[in-house]
A and B are shown apart, each in its own frame.
Chain A
Amino acid sequence: MIGTSLLTLYRSLTRHKLFAALNIGGLALGIAVFLVLFLFVQFERGYDRQLPGWDKIWLVNTSYAIPGFPAVNLTSDSGLLKNLKTDFADIDGVRLEEHQDTAVRNGRSLTTENVSAVDPGWFRLFPATAIEGDPIAVMNQPDMAVLTRSAAQRFFGSAPAIGQSLIMTIGGRERPFQIAALLDDLPKNMTYGSDIFIGLPPLEGGNGSDGSVRLFLRFPDASAATAFADKLPAFIDRHEESSLGQKPSDFKKLTLTPLAEVHLIQPKDRTVVLTLGLVGALTLLIAIINYVNLATARAGLRAREVALRKVLGATRRALILQLLVEAIAMAALSAILALALTELALPFVNTVGGTSLSIHYAGTGSILFPLALLIVGVGIVAGFYPAFILSRFNPARVLASVRTPGGGKAGVWLRKALVLGQFAIAIAFTIGTFVLIAQTRHVRHSDLGFDRSGLIIVPSFLADALDDAQRADLLRAFRNLPNVESAGMSRFLPTGGSFNASRYVDSATGTDISVTEVDVGRDFFTTYHSHLLAGRFFDDAHVSDDATGMDREALNKNPRNIILNRTALSQLGIRSPQAAIGQIAKFSSDTQPRIIGVVEDMRFTSPRDPVGAVVYHYVPRAAEGMVPTVRAKAGDTAATLAAMEAQWRSIAPAVPFRAKSVDDALYQRFYQQDAQRGRLFTIGAVLAVVIGCIGLYGLAAFDTSRRVREIGIRKALGASTRDILRLLIGQFLRPVLLANLIAWPLAYVAMRQWLSGFDDRVALSPAYFLIASLIALAIAVATVFAQSWRVARAEPAKALRYE
């Protein structure tokens, strides 16, 4: 029975090629979009879960009760583990210190690599597959390193890596490390670890707050971790002192985060993963709706066969089973095609989406089982209604009738409702895409409070290997380059750098002010083209501007001049920039800085975060921890970069040069992920619209061919081609127009929610809604026009003779 059924299906598909292409193609496209986004969700949610014992590892989160201080701060003080071991003898933990962009020298070649300095027990908690040597033993020895296969290949090619040496600049000092063990490459979706591991210096105690390491603790289960976390406030009170008159544990919090939750710990990241998963599911739903629509529309064509099967003794249950098997077979065909499409699309998706997705056919994470489930699920969902409708036809009527049944009024209404549903989703996606593109463009071009074009930053200035003399020479050399307009130093890079937040609580007034303190050098504001709202910039002629080498205590004793940003004014209760000039900034009763200037807010943070209050201190001499920003003369960025690199090689040949435009740096740090996820969303949304149109085209093709006789009669009665076109296109467009009523509020709520995550955002203009709807209408008209035109122009006599 099933054999003949599948044979009939096969021959029907080869005979009705357009229908087969639309149905299988549409479903395949839907499954492909779903597969890609499923892989994305699986990849993102699978972070660290391939690690044996991942569910027993927790990461220590250190946060401070400072307004504006991030709630998620997954670093700890380097001595915390030693103190914990003192108080809790059986604690099992390891530390990781991440050395980003470390200079690594192999003979004459010099590169930068991320290096992980870890405690000896690292590979106990984070097991890795050893290819050669014993990584656990190696981590006990200073000046030994463990490399992954890729790193070994990069440095030594096919030559044996064990026993070779690499020179790494760690802590400002060049040290040789001997390669003593090799690992298989780490999984791509692993949050911690890198291609090079070295030993971390032994535990140091103390109450410092260097926040330089990540501390991982292992517990037998979640309840043990929770019980341990409950003891941490008392631990903090035993080991910390408070300078604010509160209990230390009121000010500082240590919490535990499960390792597997670290990657998606930020709500915005979870929302992105959820949204893209939803886009995949809805796109698949649109494709399934297509299948149901086309299958029920074509039900009439198969009605005779099904009626005949009934006559020959098939029960309704047998027919439903047969039709479901057919739907599953169609889903399987589509899934195979979808798999091929996905394989072809993945390199492109990975490039534009910044992902590393791949399909695994064997082992854990194999796609085969989920795909089989998907095929059966899609087959049943897509096939159930057509099977229900077809198996219900009365065989006597079907076999007696010349005309084929079309499912009656209910069938027509259902098809309209399904078209309405899929276009509602497609239009909502289109609106979402427009808003997303507009926001992505906005953050890249909006006024940040400074002119970002032509600005170059030089992060390699932070290299430990540079000394102060080299820094001064380099800055001088940069300033003297003919294509450099100016260069200014700052301790706070446009893209991060050291976060120096201060909180002032005035016990007399109760004022609680949090500010970010930024050291800036000569020409900083002029280099950035900052907008001066009142007063003046720092100037060497004013001795009181210079805060070089002063810590907070020194600043309190010797009040210096400061510049504030606009937001800081409101925190201090000063009503205008002009009114601020000359005032003493009363952050608290023990500070006396004088305000000499107010600048517009400069956004050096993510567009998602509000700009906080900033106090600028003047540190005119280049110092460690400060980084230059160079402004190239108009249109000369590339040449300027080349000239700067030449100067760098001559002054600091032992340190790799790293520089990039501020625009690129901002993009990489703050916008890139949103842009990449946005592109994935756009791909899904565009394909959802395409799939919706495939369905509409199929439906139009079917419906117009069924109405040839009716149209013939209408034309015989005097209807013009234009009348017929208006009738047919109007009927198809009605559900598309109605779809806006569903799509608009959905998109409005969703996009308002998404935009609310940005401090710097576009307005949710009605234009996005109107344009999306017009585009959907235009696409729908274009889709049904060809079919309608063909039928509307047909000779009525031919149509009537045919009947």
Chain B
Amino acid sequence: MWLPILGLLLGIGIGSALAIPIPGIYAKYLSVAVLAALDSVFGGLKSIIEDKFDGAVLLTGFFTNALLAALLAFLGDRLGVDLYLAAVFAFGVRLFQNLAIIRREMIANWLQKRRLSVQEAKKNG
């Protein structure tokens, strides 16, 4: 449970400590890549809750999404079309969908647990 959170903190810590200089013009691509990464994280959480987790899917999804998003933003800049908005839109929508599913599942789990405990209490009482 704590290992993923530790990983996140470690990533932030190493990122701050290394201070890799990124030129300002690439900031936008990086931002889109971050959005893709967040989408993968929430997708992974959803699949855990739904018991359909697959490590390979998560990892490949993470890398291809982040790369594709950055590439799309780059291509959009070359073409003069704000293609990165497509990535922002797609990932944004998916983020909210995944969050909604996670929330519903958690509420459902909690309600089920409570019902069970109430039944248990009734049986015992």
Q: A and B: partners? A: no
Residues of chain B touching chain A, judged by Cβ–Cβ distance below 8 Å, are none
Residues of chain A touching chain B, judged by Cβ–Cβ distance below 8 Å, are none
